[in-house]
Copies of this chain bind each other. A is one copy, B any other.
Amino acid sequence: MVKKGRRRLPRSEEQYEAMRIATKNKIHTAAIKLFAKKGFAATGVKDIAEEAGISIGLMYRHYKKKEDLFNELVTYAVEGLKRIIKKFQSNESPVELILQLTLEILNDLDNDDEYAYFQMLMNQSSTIENLSPQIQQLNMQSKAMFNQTARLIEKGQILDQFKKGDPMEMALFYFATIQGLTMMKITMNNEFITPSREIVTSFLIKD
């Protein structure tokens, strides 16, 4: 409808799109880092703008509220979770699936990948009172991830790949270690030592 009165643009729509995506990326990278490290409340929009190297005003052109930015990041985390859940539902060998995920996570921790930040974001979410739909979704997917992992462990136990024990308890412990490692990574930074996957999985996988 508005298209009818199309006027000439100084830049092409593609150029504008690229600019917007570029600044959005800057905001994302800065925000995930700060939210993960300091939490939602302790992170000021000023901090984010500074870290991203843009003005506060520009942030608000992209996000009406600080919360909207947080929620968008949460959405990415949800997508990541969904991918893992889907993978776990495949028919591959349980031990292979767990090993694969573990190695991937340890690798990301070692390479300072954004993974750690997203993991922390998931914790931070639980500290927020006013649960947005995005955070509710995240909580649902987390629970699904848990159940899926417990089922996978059960499968692996039947195949005699895994050690005995309550699958739910083991799944919880697995994620607790991942959680804890992520936290350590973020707080210790360069003093952090990424553990071998043998250490991480020794409670679960038979030698």
* Partner-B contacts on A (CB < 8 A): 37-42, 123, 126-128, 163, 165-166, 168-170, 172-173, 175-181, 183-184, 187, 192-193, 195-196, 199-200, 202-203
Check if B177 sits within 8 Å of A177, measured CB to CB: yes
Check if B169 sits within 8 Å of A173, measured CB to CB: no
Cα distance A178–B177 in the bound complex, in angstroms: 8
A172: which B residues are within 8 A, CB to CB?
184, 192-193, 195
Q: Which residue of B lies closest to A195 (CB)?
A: B173
A120 to chain B, nearest CB (A): 10
Cα distance A91–B196 in the bound complex, in angstroms: 30
Cα distance A168–B177 in the bound complex, in angstroms: 16
Check if B173 sits within 8 Å of A179, measured CB to CB: no
Check if A183 sits within 8 Å of B42, measured CB to CB: no
A175: which B residues are within 8 A, CB to CB?
180, 184
Check if A173 sits within 8 Å of B192, measured CB to CB: no
Known: A127-B37, A127-B42. A180 touches B169 (CB 8 A): no
Which one of B126, B178, B181, B184 contacts A187 once the chains associate, using CB atoms below 8 Å? B126
Which one of B37, B38, B178 contacts A180 once the chains associate, using CB atoms below 8 Å? B178
A203 to chain B, nearest CB (A): 4
**Which one of A168, A193, A200 has the highest number of Cβ atoms from chain B below 10 Å of its Cβ?**
A193
A181: which B residues are within 8 A, CB to CB?
173, 176, 180
Which one of B42, B178, B200 contacts A40 once the chains associate, using CB atoms below 8 Å? B42
Q: Which residue of B lies closest to A183 (CB)?
A: B179
Cα distance A169–B109 in the bound complex, in angstroms: 14
**Which one of A37, A178, A180 has the highest number of Cβ atoms from chain B below 10 Å of its Cβ?**
A180
Cα distance A178–B202 in the bound complex, in angstroms: 16
Q: Which residue of B lies closest to A36 (CB)?
A: B127
